[in-house]
Structure 1
């Protein structure tokens, strides 16, 4: 199935094969990315998890066109171009909030540099981030709680 065929419960989160975590507030942002994402196939194998626990594995990503006009303000300010994409998805068994929290904690531990401002105070920052994950009461709230990034700039 294609991204456009799924009625996602937004926001959604994604876990890439290298244990990184991403988030999207809506379909527009989920289906937009920068050139590096396509070139490096960063989303291949990623799992997308909707706010209601349904999930899918990304089998492939296809560029379907530009995500913005050539003369957009972003482009005029030197931002990299963005592509509109569609994912080929495989439905997987739904997951619980506890399972998603465990994966989010594993992601934070796997990429401590993403979650702290440097060596000094790193342990406290990471503890705070892990505690933030433990406090969420809904899968979708991880997007805002952790300030998850999209692939638009990559």
Structure 2
């Protein structure tokens, strides 16, 4: 199935094969990425989980066109060009909030450099981020709680 065929309940959380965590507030941002994402196949194998716990694996990503106008303020200021994309997805069994929290915790532990400003104070920052994950009451609230990034700039 394709991204456009799924009735996602946003926000959507994504876990890449290298245990990184991403998030999208809407379909527009989910289907938009920078050139590095496509070149490095960063989304291949990623799991998407919507706010209801429904889950899909990304089998492939296809560029379908340009996202946004050729000339825009962002492009003039040096922002990388963005592509519109479509995912080929495989439906998986749904997951619970507890399972998503465990994966988010594992992601933070796998990439501590993404979650702290530097070596000094890193342990305290990571403990705070892990506590933030433990405190969420919905899958969708992880996006805002963790301030998850999209692939638009990559």
TM bracket, shorter-chain basis: over 0.9
> Structure 2: 5+ residue runs without aligned partners?
none
Gaps of 5+ in 1: none
Matches of 2:73 and 2:44, distance apart in 1: 30
Aligned to 1:92: 92
Q: Which residue number corresponds to residue 106 of structure 1?
A: 106
Q: Tell me the residue number matched to 1:47.
A: 47
Matches within 5 A, 1:107-126: 107-126=107-126
Q: How many residues align?
A: 154
Hey, what does 1:149 align to over in structure 2? 149
TM-score (norm 2): 1.00
Q: Distance in 2 between matches of 1:63 and 1:73?
A: 23
CA distance in 2, matches of 1:23, 1:16: 11
Q: CA deviation at 1:85?
A: 0.1
Aligned residue for 1:94, secondary structure, equals: coil
Aligned CA RMSD, in angstroms, stands at 0.3
Deviation track 1:56-76 (CA, whole Å, cap 9, x = no partner) reads: 000000000000111111111
1:23: how far off? 0.1
State the alpha-carbon separation in 2 of the partners of residues 90 and 74 from structure 1: 34
